Chains A and B, each alone.
Chain A
């Protein structure tokens, strides 16, 4: 799921991440459409394939977030959506005649786009992350990082990290879920040095030194998206897709979903009747997450 105010390059980045047009860019919106009055949630599903491995990817976009004059509680529709997905999964799980593969529409990862003001996090950012770090894995990302010079970038990152710490906001990878020492050191390194990732997205290609690269062309130079000296897009991509994709799913299933489930069952003392539940004996939770790749 990608979150952040409009104009931060979310759709472009998602397209770049998956190297295909998986997200309808806002510029292809009908320009006559006004900024929506309430936060909308648009989910688009794709099936992409690489090296024989198929993946069903769902990108959820939230146009209208943070765009209004009064943005109080603009995170509520999003929280509701995430909980609805958990609810759907829970209902399926608790069924007597369960499907072999429960369709998993839960949100595994939320990319939160921070505006590159160069000063600090906005109150809206803090509020949102505070509410949602408990229900979903949040990965903060600094959008449009080509606005900042190198010094400004490192200063800003430090300040953001400090503010998140001061406000007690746990972003993915959460410290408490590191299982072994290897994971811990690796994740610590990522947490202290690279996060939040400062990214630049682009789906246009240019020639640089004989190679064709994705980038942005400005009168004073070409910003290469995959060049680590220019921005940290490559780090983000490796982090989310190549190394931590499975972990994201596991944390969502084992921790966030379980928290939701426990809360739900405690509140109701069991699911409402008609769900096929006899007594309070619940079927055991499957040991491995239901694979979404088919």
Chain B
């Protein structure tokens, strides 16, 4: 290119530097169209992670639904049902499982909340859940603020499936309270559990009532993103019309008209899990796993996590005093941070050293003791052997000595 053209181009570029840049037409095949493939290969190698939380009263079919969604027995039938573990307080339990499909690995973490809503007095039963979610955010925040952040495990809850009991009337006060407190922290997807209790008309009415109450209380459930694609938008709109999704879970296979389907067998018919007219399970599965999993993770990262982070940091800088549990890892300068990390590292090493020394000493003691024992044993054995050898000698020598006078007399006699 001639000098003038280059400078003109530079001018253009500087003018457009604030915008995205001019769209230029390429005159040949450059090859960065291969970029998605590279990303694909890298992601597949790295594997994916997803954390899913299920909340709801016991007996609503949460475990069955998870098993149906992922087609594995994450909760085996021997898993103690809630009847065996009615607890006084709500627990938060997590279980990890690694599933593979088509060469793609998914590390799935399921967070369960047994005991939620089961007691007679359910005030603050949402507190353990909130604490759990916050603690995961805090872990990630600390990991992000470290100087050395090669490994950042992501345990943040990316999606919360909230199970609504199919009463047919509306949301219970407990449902509303829970969702109000958690809609700013996690993506909430409300589901109507055991939807085979409701006829289609009852279901419609129930859904309408629920959506009305959700809007009334200004609860922000997970919103499906609008895309530029017309086709996709139509699909998204269809999903939005059917919120909240009414699901039925089952892993038992039943024969219906010669086909093998998953469903529940009643005397009056079979409720099929994967039949779109019977329940919204397929929609949920497609949405959660096939199309919107990445979006859920993005929203968690960009919206919920950022909210948490800004609130946390704003609180610290406002007060000027460190009032968070981790002593100001976020406010020190990198050098001080490095110093501290080094100190931490050294302290850890020292501790390990001490521990090893202790173990070493213990082992030495044991060995010494063993040696002593075996020595004593050997001594004992030797003694015995010696005695065994000596005894006959001794006895013979005694005999000889005892008979000495006799011999001497004989000797003398013969001399």
Contact = CB atoms under 8 A, between A and B. Distances in A.
Interface of A: 5-9, 26-27, 31, 35, 67-72, 115-120, 122-124, 127, 144, 146-147, 149-150, 159, 216-224, 229-230
A218 B122 contact: no
Contacts of B81: 119
Interface residues of B, number: 43
Contacts of A146: 196-197, 266
A136 B57 CA distance: 29
B177 A218 contact: no
27 contacts: A6-B169, A7-B165, A7-B167, A7-B169, A67-B173, A69-B121, A69-B174, A69-B177, A70-B121, A70-B122, A70-B123, A71-B120, A71-B121, A72-B120, A116-B59, A117-B59, A117-B60, A120-B83, A144-B197, A147-B197, A150-B265, A150-B267, A218-B278, A219-B200, A220-B269, A221-B268, A223-B266
B264 interface: yes
B191 to A, nearest CB: 16
B268 A159 contact: no
Contacts of B197: 144, 146-147
A159 B120 contact: no
Given A7-B167, A31-B209, 6 more contacts: A70-B121, A72-B120, A119-B59, A124-B120, A218-B271, A220-B268
B52 interface: no
A16 B85 CA distance: 37
Contacts of B121: 69-72
The main secondary structure of chain B at its interface with chain A is loop
B120 A6 contact: no
A223 B269 CA distance: 9
Given A120-B83, A146-B196, A224-B268, A69 B173 contact: yes
Given A70-B122, A72-B120, A118 B59 contact: yes
The main secondary structure of chain A at its interface with chain B is loop
Given A6-B169, A7-B168, A69-B173, A218 B59 contact: no
Determine which residue in A5, A68, A116, A218 has the highest number of CB atoms from chain B within 10 A of its CB, and name it.
Answer: A218
A217 B177 CA distance: 34
A149 B122 contact: no
A167 B177 CA distance: 32
A217 B198 CA distance: 9
Determine which residue in A119, A127, A220 has the highest number of CB atoms from chain B within 10 A of its CB, and name it.
Answer: A220
Contacts of B59: 115-119
Contacts of A6: 167, 169
Contact of A119 (B58, B167, B174): B58
A36 to B, nearest CB: 11
B27 interface: no
Contacts of A69: 121-123, 173-174, 177
B192 to A, nearest CB: 12
A149 B264 contact: yes
A223 B268 contact: yes
A218 B278 CA distance: 8
Given A69-B123, A69-B177, A149-B266, A5 B167 contact: yes
